[in-house]
């Protein structure tokens, strides 16, 4: 995979984002890193004691705060707070379409390359575990299962990706699906 081609498939960082007025703004980072000559996507498993989405698989990220000034800063700040990756080691490549969640968040996903030399410093108050999924696994669309479910009387469709013992679904799987379909064009 060539990162120049990936960045050309993404939405430019300076492209304005639409906001849903009643939704809270949030941002996540899809960290890409190279390990043993293979591109990997870093994911987290949220701490079990959290009020919202305990134990679920997610990207580092969270709610926008005024001091962030822009959503890309939210993604970088939250990545540092949750897993300890220094902002200077994150190279943003672009962003993906926003995702609205049933929990009333408007999430802007950013894609970033993690430079070598990073050290993880996991915050156990937010993150139970960090793991990596090979990008080759994620680009194989046969690994995506589409599921239908009814929640509060409304029918939803979402993707599920089973990787080892990890069940990746919801907004995280949707973001991965959007990323893969963009870079596969």
Q: Per-residue pLDDT tens for 113-160? A: 999 999 999 999 999 999 999 999 999 999 999 999 887 888 888 999
Say what the pLDDT of residue 184 is: 85
User: Average pLDDT for residues 19-33, to the nearest whole number?
Assistant: 84
For 71-129, write each residue's pLDDT tens digit. Answer: 999 999 999 999 999 999 999 999 999 988 877 889 999 999 999 999 999 999 999 99
- All structural domains of the chain with their residue ranges: 3-136
Q: What is the mean pLDDT of residues 48-73?
A: 87
Determine contact, residues 22/40, Cβ cutoff 8 Å.
no
3-136 classified as CATH 3.90.79.10: yes
Residue 22 scores a pLDDT above 70 = no
**Burial status of residue 5 (CB atoms within 10 A of its CB: 0-12, 13-18, 19 or more):** exposed
Global pTM reads: 0.90
Residue 55 pLDDT grade (very low, low, confident, very high; cuts 50, 70, 90): confident
Q: Residue 21 above 60 pLDDT?
A: no
Query: Do residues 136 and 163 lie in contact, with contact meaning Cβ atoms separated by under 8 Å?
Result: no
Whole-number Å distance between alpha carbons of 96 and 32 = 14
**H/E element holding 99?**
strand 99-100
- Residue 1: per-residue pLDDT: 65
């Amino acid at each position: 995979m060539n990162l120049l081609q990936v960045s050309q498939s993404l939405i430019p960082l300076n492209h304005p984002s639409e906001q849903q007025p009643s939704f809270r703004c949030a941002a996540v980072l899809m960290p890409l890193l190279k390990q043993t000559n293979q591109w990997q996507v870093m994911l987290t498993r949220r701490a079990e004691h959290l009020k919202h989405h305990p134990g679920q698989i997610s990207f580092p990220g969270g709610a926008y705060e005024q001091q962030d000034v822009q959503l890309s800063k939210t993604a970088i700040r939250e990545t540092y707070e949750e897993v300890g990756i220094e902002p200077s080691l994150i190279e943003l490549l672009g962003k993906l379409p926003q995702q609205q969640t049933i929990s009333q968040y408007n999430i802007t996903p950013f894609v970033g390359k993690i430079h070598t030399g990073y050290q993880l410093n996991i915050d156990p108050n937010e993150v139970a575990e960090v793991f990596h999924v090979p990008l080759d696994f994620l680009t194989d669309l046969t690994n995506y299962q589409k599921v239908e479910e009814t929640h509060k009387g409304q029918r939803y469709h979402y993707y599920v990706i089973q990787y080892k013992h990890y069940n990746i679904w919801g907004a995280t799987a949707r973001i991965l699906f959007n990323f893969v379909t963009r870079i596969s064009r």
